[in-house]
Amino acid sequence: MSVELVTTSHGLRMVLFFENLLFTLLVPGTVAVYVPLWIARDRPTPAGLPFVLGSAVLTAGAVLYGWCVFGFAVRGRGTPAPVDAPKSLVVWGPYQFCRNPMYVGVLTVILVWSVIFESGVLMLYALVVAMSFHLVVVMYEEPCLRRRFGTDYDDYCRRVGRWLPGGRPGSFPTAR
């Protein structure tokens, strides 16, 4: 392996890292953090056990999202952004159990904000976001993935549930 190849490979990884970071700050950051906190801006600051437990679940949702982005970058060599989508089908990590764990992580964060801030408006916002995610997945992402990955994606859909863990036991895809 030449030094130039190592430098180029490292440079590509850094670009991919910054593309993923930028996408995360702009899109999921806006949907799951900035907008909910803006909605809850006049609510009392949460405290006590509900806040501690909620923070743990917020962290779990964020970790799930991060794990998915990592899979997109390392396994799929891309980002969640449609303009730089993964080059290969990612069926690794959380994608072995749910076809859309990134959306589940983002929605989990919004739902926890609604509980922490005891906000019906945030709960309604979560419902609107969930319906929007579903429409984007069904009307745009799944048809694109079918065109791009063909029978591999169809087989994956038969084995793994869209939103919740599903499929036949023992039928999870092999790690790619």
**pLDDT tens figures, 11-58:** 666 777 788 788 888 888 899 999 999 999 998 887 888 788 888 998
**Which pTM does this prediction carry?**
0.81
Q: Distance between CA atoms of 79 and 16, rounded to whole angstroms?
A: 7
What's the confidence (pLDDT) of residue 7? Answer: 44
Q: Would you say 21 and 86 are in contact if contact means Cβ atoms under 8 Å apart?
A: no
Cα separation, 160 vs 130, whole angstroms: 19
Mean pLDDT of the chain: 84
Does the pLDDT at position 164 exceed 80? Answer: yes
Q: Residue 132: what pLDDT?
A: 97
Q: Token match 């799929």: residue? A: 76
Higher-scoring residue by pLDDT: 103, 1: 103
Mean pLDDT over residues 125-153, rounded? 96
H, E, C per residue of the chain: CCHHHHHHHHHHHHHHHHHHHHHHHHCHHHHHHHHHHHHCCCCCCCCHHHHHHHHHHHHHHHHHHHHHHHHHHHCCCCCCCHHHCCCCCCCCHHHHCCCCHHHHHHHHHHHHHHHHCCCHHHHHHHHHHHHHHHHHHHHHHHHHHHHHHHHHHHHHHHHCCCCCCCCCCCCCCCCC
Q: Tens digit of pLDDT for each residue in 99-119?
A: 999 999 999 999 999 999 989
Report the largest interatomic distance among the alpha carbons of the chain, rounded to a whole angstrom: 58
- Rounded distance between C-alpha atoms, residue 68 and residue 45, angstroms: 30
Q: Which domains does the chain have, with CATH numbers?
A: 3-159 (1.20.120)
Q: Is the per-residue pLDDT at 120 higher than 90?
A: yes
